[in-house]
Each structure stands twice: as structure tokens, then as C-alpha cells.
Amino acid sequence: MTDHIAPFHGFGLGLRRDHHADFLARDVPVDFVEVISENFMATGGRPLHTLDAVRERHPMAMHGVSLSIGSAQGLNREYLGQLKALADRVRPLWVSDHLCWTGVDHFNSHDLLPLPYTDEALDIVCANIKLAQDVLERPMLFENPSSYLAFPDTDYTEWEFLAEMCARTGCYLLLDVNNIYVSGTNHGFDPDAFLRGIPADRVRQIHLAGHSQGETMLIDTHDAPVCDAVWQLYRRACERFGHAATMIERDDAIPPLDELLAELDQARAVAALAERCPA
């Protein structure tokens, strides 16, 4: 098993069903695509035909939502086997998931549930990461999720937890800039302190997305364009982490592909500006 994921400097989009026909019919100007792993695990026929056809044209990253790396009950071995089979087929740039747990007794809540940032939780997460990486025979990326509650007893800030997790397991990070902004607003921490606390050499991918204003806090909904405040935070992330692979996430109210490509051009422009004129 290699213990290294080479940097990949490009700009991409999530492959969503609304745009399958576009990706199959024309040359889409992206450097990579990201697929939701669970959409193609243990399936056959048309979904895998589409996956193979797009993979012939574009490098691909796999992003999961159900690994439940924070589960105190351990990981689902059947799930891990299906994930490995898909990764062996796709030969992705990397495989990623979220720093969260998703259910109990292998019941999937289909929600990214928050972890307490404690020594006990860190031990569990690191043991699960080591198992997942051994089964997949590759290091993984883990994403900072958005959160809407904070546990009263913690041993680490979120960024300290992520840094220690990387140091213990050799994993890498998928930095979601929108989630940093959402969680920072909801919990009152400084997003720039988060950026400063992340080990720069472990960031391989960045997510950008839109969010919504809930009744009392921000909600990570992926149903709107990236807002100005998140673009500003992205520029500062580029100054710290360089040109990590950047992707626009859109999972609801999905617009025509050309609108997302225009937004991706904005990401290219912000990254280029950060390189030319660092603060």
C-alpha cells in the first residue's frame, strides 16, 4: 500500500444525474469529477456504464457519505468490501468520506452526525481509519463536516482533532471551506484560526458550496451558489494550502451545467488571484 497521495492541482465538479447526458455527449472543461461512492456501489447496468464512460474522459475522485468513521461499533465490513471493489474499478485520484458517524447497529441515518472532539473519540476514529486504509490499500481523505451543536466537554478544537488524526493515521484532508464558514458562524469560532491549525501538507482537496439561513443558524444545503464570504475564505485557504484540487458541490436546485462551469471559472480566478497577490 502506498502511504502517499500526490497533489493534484485542478478544478472539478460533482457528477450528478442531471448532468450525465452532458458529460457523455460533449467535452466538459473540468480537470476531474467527483462521484458519490454509494451511488455506484453494488450496482450494475446503466450507472456503471455511465461511470466507466466518464472515467475514460476525466480523472475521478470517490466521495462517500456512509463509512461512519466515528462509529464506536466499528466499520461495516460488507460496506468496506463494496467500496474497495468500486475503487479497484475506478482507480480514483483518492477515496474520501466525512469525519462523522451515521448510525447505530449498522442502521444508516443518512445524516452526518457530529463527534465530540475528545481523546476517546480520537482513539476510535484513528482505529477505524487504519482499518479502512488497510482494507482499501490506500490512504484516505476525510472532510470536516458542518455542525449544528457543540459538545460541552472536549479535549481539542476541531482543527486540532483533524491535525492529530492525520499525524496518527497518515490520512489526508478534504477541506470543505463552506463547512468551516457554516460551523464557525454557528459556534462562534474564527474560520482563519481553523485554516491556521490545519497541517498544510495534508490537504489534497477543497469543497466549495452554498448554504441557507435557518431559523437560528446556517444550514449546509448545497442548493445555492457560493456566497461572497465563502469566496473570501477560499482565497485565504488558497494562500495557505496552494492549489489543492477544488470542486463545486451542488446537490439540490441543480442548475444547468454551464452555470456551474461559470462558477468553477470563478474558483479558478480566485485561486489565481491568491497566487499573484497573496495577503
- DSSP structure class, residue 266: H
CB 143 within 8 A of CB 98: yes
Helix (H) or strand (E) holding 114: none
Instruction: Tell me the DSSP string of 7-27.
Output: ----EEEE--GGGHHHHHHS-
pLDDT tens digits along 69-89: 999 999 999 999 999 999 999
Instruction: List the chain domain ranges.
Output: 11-276
CATH class label, 11-276: alpha beta
Average per-residue pLDDT in the chain? Answer: 94
Partner residues linked to 172 by β-bridges = 141
Measured between alpha carbons, how far is 199 from 241 in angstroms, rounded to an integer? Answer: 9
Match 470536516 to its residue by C-alpha cell.
144
In sequence order, which ranges of the chain are alpha helices (DSSP H)? 20-25, 46-57, 77-90, 119-136, 158-169, 177-187, 191-197, 228-241, 257-276
**226-230: long-range contacts, CB 8 A cutoff, minimum separation 24:** 226/178, 226/263, 226/266, 226/267, 229/181, 230/177, 230/178, 230/181
pLDDT tens digits along 94-132: 999 999 999 777 667 678 889 999 999 999 999 999 999
Environment class of 248 (CB within 10 Å of its CB; exposed 0-12, middle 13-18, buried 19+): buried
Q: What is the pLDDT of residue 219?
A: 92
Pairing of strands 245-248, 172-176: unpaired
Q: What is the pLDDT of residue 47?
A: 87
pLDDT at 1 over 60: no
52-66, 91-105, 156-170: range with lowest mean pLDDT = 91-105
Partner residues linked to 247 by β-bridges = 12, 207
Percentage of the residues of the chain whose pLDDT score is greater than 70 = 97
Q: Of 212, 275, 217, give the one whose Cα is nearest residue 246.
A: 275
Percentage of the residues of the chain whose pLDDT score is greater than 90 = 89
Measured between alpha carbons, how far is 5 from 209 in angstroms, rounded to an integer? Answer: 24
pLDDT tens digits along 250-272: 999 999 999 999 999 999 999 99
Residue environment code for 33-47, b if the CB has 16+ CB neighbours within 10 A, otherwise e: bbbbbbbbbeeeeee
CB 219 within 8 A of CB 211: yes
Q: Please give the angle made by the CA atoms of 179, 59 and 231, to the nearest 5 degrees.
A: 30
Q: How far is CA 252 from the centre of its chain?
A: 17
Write out 248-260 in H/E/C secondary structure. ECCCCCCCCHHHH
Q: What is the mean pLDDT of residues 144-163?
A: 95
